[in-house]
Amino acid sequence: MDLFDYKPEKPFSQKHLVWLKDYTQDEILQIISLGLKLKKEFKEGKPNRTLEGKTLAMVFSKSSTRTRVSFEVGMYQLGGMALFLSASDIQLGRGETIADTARVLSRMVDGIMIRTFKQSDVDELAEYAAVPVINGLTDLVHPCQALADIMTLYEQKGGLQGLKLAYMGDGNNVANSLLTICSKLGVNISMACPKGYEPDDGMIDRAKAFAARSGSSVILTHEPEAAVQGADAVYTDVWASMGEESETEVRKRFFIPYQVNGALFSLAKPDAIFLHCLPCHRDEEVTADVVDGPASAVIDEAENRLHVQKAVLCLLMGGGR
Ligand code: CP
Ligand code: NVA
């Protein structure tokens, strides 16, 4: 399938990007296709003012480099502007309700992006906001990252259907979103997690149901070698996510067999790529020879956050483009 020439089955009609589970395959492909086109146009120096005069409020309760910069620069490049709102500096951090924050921001801005802990807070924000709400990461999911990951996989491999992505390590927010997007798009996903650190059963069951429809497979194992065998892409993430720092030392003991090092990576296909959402910890979840090696696509993947975020912004806030 040529995603540059993707013909939507239906007009894009989502109001928010809260969870990818609520998106159809067609809607996800529309975002990735537009991301690819916007990237090409941007590289060719063609201006795009789809969001002229529009504003995005960005609420952050956790640190960020890629998410903050991609949304802020993306808004600027599309003719609009973004406001960085640290949750601890706005009244939300002093107890103003999410509902009131949503109602008030909706009268002043055209969209809200939020990075926080609880998924239910994003759900509530979307419930009360009159403008689009975009999930910039919760403890549960990281949909914007998964979109950039799949865009990168497509660019690197020239297709998606039938590819195998192997995910090593923590069954966290990144893992959950990869399960959803891969299973919806026909990418086989094999996940190797330590016992007790797997994604929730509900996530796996839902992904298996999506995979049955797209003709792909979802495999969960405790054996990293089995998961990596024959993979087109090997993916890992930090062993302790934001908010779990106190567990770092305990987790290291369980996670070390899941480290993506040269030996484990060599079990994937000879032309396999390495992916990581970043930031990474060298010599923890990945060794330097892999993340800094020739098969690593992590910087392209990070760059694609910008292009795919612009696609999300155009589709949700710009009426397409
Ligand atoms: N991958 C990602 O979301 O990076 P940041 O935490 O830097 O935004
Ligand atoms: N799982 C990581 C992803 C960071 C982009 C975290 O939540 O900290």
Q: Going by CA atoms, what residue is nearest to atom 7 of ligand 1? A: 65
The token duo for 189 is 């996903």
Q: Would you write out the chain's pLDDT as a tens digit for each of its 321 residues?
A: 899 999 999 999 999 999 999 999 999 999 999 999 999 999 999 999 999 999 999 999 999 999 999 999 999 999 999 999 999 999 999 999 999 999 999 999 999 999 999 999 999 999 999 999 999 999 999 999 999 999 999 999 999 999 999 999 999 999 999 999 999 999 999 999 999 999 999 999 999 999 999 999 999 999 999 999 999 999 999 999 999 999 999 999 999 999 999 999 999 999 999 999 999 999 999 999 999 999 999 999 999 999 999 999 999 999 754
Query: How remote is the CA of residue 309 from the centroid of ligand 2, in Å?
Result: 17
What pLDDT score was predicted for residue 147? 98
Residue 45 makes CB contacts below 8 A (sequence gap 6+) with: none
193, 277, 280, 314: which is the annotated catalytic residue?
277
pLDDT at residue 319, rounded to an integer: 73
Domain ranges of the chain: 3-141+304-317, 145-301
Give phi and psi for 171, each to the nearest 5: -80, 65
Q: What three-state secondary structure class fits 86?
A: strand
Instruction: Assess whether 282 carries a catalytic annotation.
Output: no
CA distance 282 to 285: 7
Predicted TM-score of the model (pTM): 0.98
Which residue from 273, 31, 308, 291 is spatially nearest to 164, judged by alpha carbons? Answer: 273
Give the torsion sign (CA, 24, 27, 33, 35). negative
Q: Which DSSP string do the residues of 166-190 spell out, in sequence order?
A: EEES--SHHHHHHHHHHHHHT-EEE
Sequence-separated (6 or more) residues with CB below 8 Å from residue 317: 51, 54, 56, 110, 111, 131, 132
309 is catalytic: no
Ligand 2 close to Cβ of residue 70 (< 6 A): no
3 state SS of 113: strand
The one-letter amino acid code at 118 reads: K
In ligand 2, the atom with minimum distance to the C-alpha of 278 is 5
Distance in angstroms (rounded) separating the CA atoms of residues 225 and 227: 5
Q: For residues 298 and 291, what is the distance between their CA atoms, to the nearest angstrom?
A: 7
CA 318 → CA 54, 127, 184, 220, distances in Å?
A: 9, 20, 25, 39
Gap between the Cα atoms of 82 and 85, Å rounded: 9
Topology agreement, domain 3-141+304-317 and domain 145-301:
yes
DSSP 8-state class, residue 271: T
Q: What is the residue whose two structure tokens read 């956790």?
A: 62
Q: Quick one: which ligand is closest to 276's CA?
A: 1
List, chain by chain if needed, residues with CB within 6 Å of any ligand 1 atom: 64-67, 137, 145, 277-278
Q: What is the pLDDT of residue 320?
A: 56
Measure the CA–CA gap between 121 and 112, rounded to whole angstroms: 13
Q: Kindly state the helix (H) or strand (E) to which residue 58 belongs, with its residue range.
A: strand 55-60
In ligand 1, the atom with minimum distance to the C-alpha of 302 is 1
Catalytic (active site) residue 142:
yes
CA separation for the pair 169, 27 (Å, rounded): 29
| Site of tokens 């020739």 | 294
Q: What does CATH list as the number for 3-141+304-317?
A: 3.40.50.1370
The CATH architecture that domain 145-301 belongs to is 3-Layer(aba) Sandwich (3.40)
- 237, 276, 280, 307: the catalytic one is 237
Centre of ligand 2 to C-alpha 61, Å, is 13
242 in contact with ligand 2, CB cutoff 6 A:
yes
319 φ, ψ (degrees, to nearest 5)? 65, 35
Known catalytic residue at 107: no
Backbone Cα Rg of the chain: 19
Q: How far apart are CA 244 and CA 62, in angstroms?
A: 12
Provide the pLDDT for residue 1. Answer: 84
